[in-house]
Structure 1
């Protein structure tokens, strides 16, 4: 295979510099042989143009995320941030693109590293043996995590996506890239994740280069294929399907009967395709035709009308093992009304959480709707019996459609992208529970939610948001009176959102 100079320069850029990877490591990621990558690197050191291109490619690299910074860069930030006033620190953090929690975490890490270095002693034979065992354990944990990630990818994926010449639309590409990113983040190697979906690493890399709006630029064949059926052959297929002895049969039965007579006109799939193109392929059986059901629309006009709940993973200190966060959200107010963290995913634990939450809030449960996806804990017998006893109406998403439970999915996204969220794993179950407790307190009482007028969920749940929004409206009206020339239209809308919908009917919009 012939690679372009641009692609070679990009590969060289990944192998040079203080953060460059080795040729063998890069070979496992991109699917190109290590000798080939090493040769490109040697040529780049001798050919000025390629070296210049590699440097230019590196200069245009995207800015790194804070968690991808090198130890030297993190130490620089820690040193420069010390002694700054609150105002100076705020300007410094915005300029560096950081949060205060990240700087505090790096400072604590640097301090612990210094203390560890001071107390370091010469390793003994026993400590060397322990390190070897730890390395072996990490290797096995990594292999276990990769196997688990590939199993999840295979379960979530739409099947084999490969095949020479197969086309993938822009939306399908983004879906595939998202699945692969999740697998790689969970511990799978890129080439293994691509193999699971039947793709090559080069195809995935090309899709990333083309960006979010990339599409298949092939214009398709400009001449009909030589094996295309002629109009006479096409008519012969239709005539055979409409003969008296075949008119009540499907192509699955027509093709074998023709074969018994020594006749071959076309394949079974060709029969189906031609009948479909001629609008002659309709449901004729006594059974009902397949329909695609839309999820039921639910409307919330106040707190405790509609809840949404789900379970998400929290990484533990053991690779491949997780803690499970159970979270219940009031959709109208966006308040987290119940949560729990356990070491297992269980319908009994889920039922206990819903029972405790409903009793603690003391709400009128006669009209309360609880929405969830189709997981085992959600549809288990214990959970359904609990909901029936409490008088809560269960509601479920369609199978394999995460968009039907958008509020819980959005809440989990907010949770896992907080600056304080551990980049590694939770040290223990108690540590995970403590972190979630702090997050729930912040989310309910401090977080200004964009979907409910930038008030806290607690204020909206208790009705205090009415006075807050009215005060904001008066502030803007007064500002407009002082400087009317600054407003060419109405002031910002601070009206309260009264109705929130879950899975609105087609043509309508959700809050």
Structure 2
């Protein structure tokens, strides 16, 4: 569709310029009200100011006195140049960057012609317009970056402040936001967000007791066999409260990393392990066939009491070598996660508070919400559901 170029009479130009001159308003809002370009109205204002600078001469000028008119125009242009150079004096005192000149031109483009400002500052007009396009694109990128920052901040907060860039990226992907890890890491640095990393592991040699039975190592550090209920791993750790120590025994499925049994008490006895093991046994339907129960050689795991319990439940016992903590490294890694991401981040007044909060963290967050990198950034419960879905079904009798 063709458009007709607007034409303005000299009287209209002068009246439009007087709206700026007489009221002292900026050029930009007046131009918007009149439907004019800022630069166009700015030129009219400059011309009217030049004309008003010598009203008597303008009134007495003869139409044929072209030389006088030319001198007046030059005088008006020089005054405009001097006025602009006064505003640009701070930049001209030193070798200003091109972008700084463009910023001044952007701020003053409603009052002075772009071509004249470019000449006085020693930059190109095309360079100025190219800079404006880049600035517009930068503004759009800033909007996108702000949106990503908000999503990263929300994902980090939903993890209770423990996720680093890899897990935040996985969390965003699960919610339909596809960004790469470097973008997430840059956003977290920009906002001062950090994940929580475990402390360096210091092995502790377990204390055993004289045994009347022999327990082999059936795992040999190959905990994850790719199948559920093939290997269960366990250990005991101690947690500090203002009332004293509280001890936690956990049993996990080595394939899904899920905590399937746990127990806490003020003493660490074989009964503590038995309670956790029986919870896992009940959760798994009361009788997984051939499951291996692996732990270290602590006295609770090598005791006759636990051996009798495992025999009665049809569970095979397995222990690592004496003084070699790496034989149960998968469970030691779980303790590092629990203490770094949850337990050591606050002070616990009573054992009761610690037991309730730890159980809630295990069941609600660790098993069902925390993303595990070893599981393809899925949760243990989701991973078990996936394995159960893909598991071959037994043939039905005819």
**TM-score w.r.t. length of structure 2:** 0.43
Which protein has greater RCO, CA pairs closer than 8 Å, 6+ apart?
2
**TM-score w.r.t. length of structure 1:** 0.34
